[in-house]
Amino acid sequence: MFKFLLKRLALTVPTFVALMFITFVMIRMVPGDPIEVRRGERGISPERLEMLRHEMGLDQPVWKQFLDYVWGILHGDFGTSIISKSPVLHEFLTLFPATIELTFFAMLIAVFVGVPAGVFAAARRGGIFDQTLMGIALTGYSMPIFWWGLLLVLFMSNTLHLTPVSGRVDLIKFYYPQVTGFAIIDSLLSGKPGALADVLRHLILPSIVLGTVPMAVIARMTRSSMLEVLEEDYVRTARAKGLSAWRVVGLHALRNALIPVVVSIGLQVGTLLAGAVLTENIFSWPGVGHWLTQSIARRDYPALQGGILLIATIVIIVNVLVDLTYAAINPRIRYGK
Amino acid sequence: MASEVIATTTASPPSSLRAFWNSFSENRGAVIGMYVVVAIVLIAIFAPVLAPYNPLEQFKGATKLPPFWVQGSDPKYWLGTDAVGRDMLSRLMYGARISLFIGLSVMLVSMVLGVILGLASAFYGGIIDVVIIRIMDLIMAIPSLVLEILIIAITGPSLLNTVIAITIVYLPRYVRLLRASAIAELSKDYVTAAKVSGVGKLRLMLVTVLPNCTAPLIVQAALGISDAILEASGLGFLGLGAQPPTPEWGAMLADTRDLMQSHPWVMALPGLCILITVMAINLMGDGLRDALDPRLRKS
């Protein structure tokens, strides 16, 4: 297992190096003068330009610049935002809890709706229930989620007034200090009655929107994995022993059918963290996805560069963790190859 | 006499196309999906003939008109008009052209490149294989939308750059698929036989092995079109795809966010078009998979 861990970690090193190289090249390829792009200033005098070039290390050879960049990253320096003038890493870490919170609840909805739906569909294979569920899953899978989000806002918020339109909490009514960055924990810590309920009301629509596609994928996967397992001999034996149908399906078959599903859930977490870009934009959710698109609009390239590097790093780490979990459950992966 | 009877009762096996169609048409959803796709393709091709107006023409006195089933509509504009008085029906019809163009070009380019790279990596192995697979792993390590944003931040937002960005993001799917199936084929007897009889490498790759890898490739290509359409409309919605006044469905949706409450149909229609198109292609793709891959046919 330890050997597998080392091997898997070693495989990520070239990916990180390439990632750093791409983001390094990126800032040099964006249209416009690098100084203007970085400092957000225009029409600089030649003397000041020379000074800035020296200050930013742009008069060094390119390979030296790249090594400096890598050195900075390894010491936690992901650049400085042009707009806010604060370190990119700091901005990212301030906003990231909001994205984690949203992703977590989206995944919760996706799993707790998707898995049972897949199991029921497989158990009643070919029936009207199966067809309806799979029809819904196909719709969810094909859904442009930004449109789905706007539709939900239109009906739930604007027409029925059930949920708020955007943001994480009603700050006028429930102002509380940021302690952990997680609205659920902070609202509890604030001790204000109703604050947590308000946070959850803000969370529900974005979570549904972000969870829709993974929910559909999980339902489809659970169904096909269940169908495969239900054909196995041990399931027939369990049935022959006279166990109730739901005990066979829900206990014996489900346990084995869930292995590939768990892996796909794990792999989707990474995609979701990043996929929050669209959802966060619809609901003005103050997370990293929203920040990333705003950085493009403001031409804040250092923020974009650092942000992309950080998101990709997190996704790579999540994927390694998923692989390790999979190897822990399934020895064939560990020893094969 | 006896042999004659046998001869007349032996039916020739159905041709492979016929067998495919029999299997495909068993799936009612797939056939419906196919009809919808054909309809959308026809609308896209004949948009200049079918559309009542130029999609970019603004009718001054006719802004924000509702579609025909809502009170206060104008029969001249079936599906109403948008904020600056452009005919919705015409814009949606031309939008089908853009979405299909994106879907098809992404699919074609990434498939052709993917086939070449996948075959090269399976056949040559060694350093070529390592380099290709490493690059593909890198692309897959970065979440698709984030990588597309990165590429578009460098190249600038436009329809062509949308296609380029999505093509790069989807390339690994084809490379890995082709590499895996080509490696599996390479160990089979017919390939050894071809090698022994002196078939050249290029011919071995393209004529001997490639045709036996096409079934999963076709399925991946079909589903790749719908994914590309979704992805492109998401970029359009973020303002990073096709630029106004291009009637791209995602961008049309983004335009109408301020009007959402007062004129919901302006927002509802482009999204509905995306959903229907993507769903129809996915239905067809599911049917193709079931028909082409006998292992999955039963499930």
Q: Which fold has domain B27-296?
A: MetI-like fold (1.10.3720)
C-beta atoms of A143 and B257 within 8 A: no
Task: Select the residue of B138, B156, B234 nearest A278 (Cβ to Cβ).
Answer: B234
Confidence of residue B174 (pLDDT cuts 50, 70, 90): very high
What would the pLDDT profile of B141-158 be if each residue is shown by its tens digit? 778 888 888 888 888 888
- pLDDT-derived band at A110 (thresholds 50, 70, 90) equals very high
Question: What does the domain layout of chain B look like in residue ranges?
Answer: 27-296
Give CA–CA dist A89/A73, Å, rounded. Answer: 10
User: What is the structure's pLDDT at A136?
Assistant: 93
Give the SS3 label for residue B81.
Answer: strand
| Count of CB pairs separated by less than 8 Å, A with B | 124
The pLDDT assigned to B167 comes to 95
Return the domain boundaries, chain A.
88-329
Residue to test with chain A: of B164, B237, B273, most A Cβ within 10 A: B237
Q: How confident is the model at residue B297, as a pLDDT?
A: 46
CB contact under 8 Å between A277 and B145, yes or no, is yes
With CB atoms and an 8 Å threshold, state whether A15 touches B143: no
Report the residue of A103, A128, A143, A147 to disrupt the B interface, i.e. the one with the largest count of B CBs within 10 Å. A147
Contacts of A10 in chain B (CB under 8 A): none
Per-residue pLDDT, A275:
67
The ipTM assigned to this model is 0.83
Q: Which B residues in the span 231-270 are in contact with A, Cβ-Cβ below 8 Å? A: 233-234, 237-240, 250, 253, 257, 260-261, 264, 267-268, 270
A278 touches chain B (CB under 8 A): yes
- CB contact (8 A) between residue B143 and residue A278: no
pLDDT at site B274 = 94
Give the mean pLDDT of A139-146: 90
CATH superfamily of A88-329: MetI-like (1.10.3720.10)
Better pLDDT: A221 or B63: A221
pLDDT in tens, B227-251: 999 999 999 988 888 888 888 898 8
What pTM, to 2 d.p., does this model score? 0.85
Binned at pLDDT 50, 70 and 90, residue B113 comes out as very high
Is B137 within 8 Å of A308 when comparing Cβ atoms?
no
Question: What burial class does residue A292 get, using C-beta atoms within 10 Å of its C-beta: 0-12 exposed, 13-18 middle, 19+ buried?
Answer: buried
**CB < 8 Å to B133, chain A:** none
Report the C-alpha gap between B101 and B290 in whole angstroms.
26
Instruction: Give the confidence band of A38 by pLDDT, cuts at 50, 70, 90.
Output: low
Chain B hits for A296, Cβ within 8 Å: 149, 153, 240
pLDDT of residue A54: 76
- pLDDT value at residue B126: 86
How far does the CA of residue B12 sit from the closest CA of chain A (Å)?
32
**Rounded distance, CA A75 to CA A157, Å?**
45
Mean of the per-residue pLDDT values for chain A? 82
Q: Which residue did the predictor score with more confidence, B23 or B169?
A: B169
Average pLDDT of every residue of chain B: 84
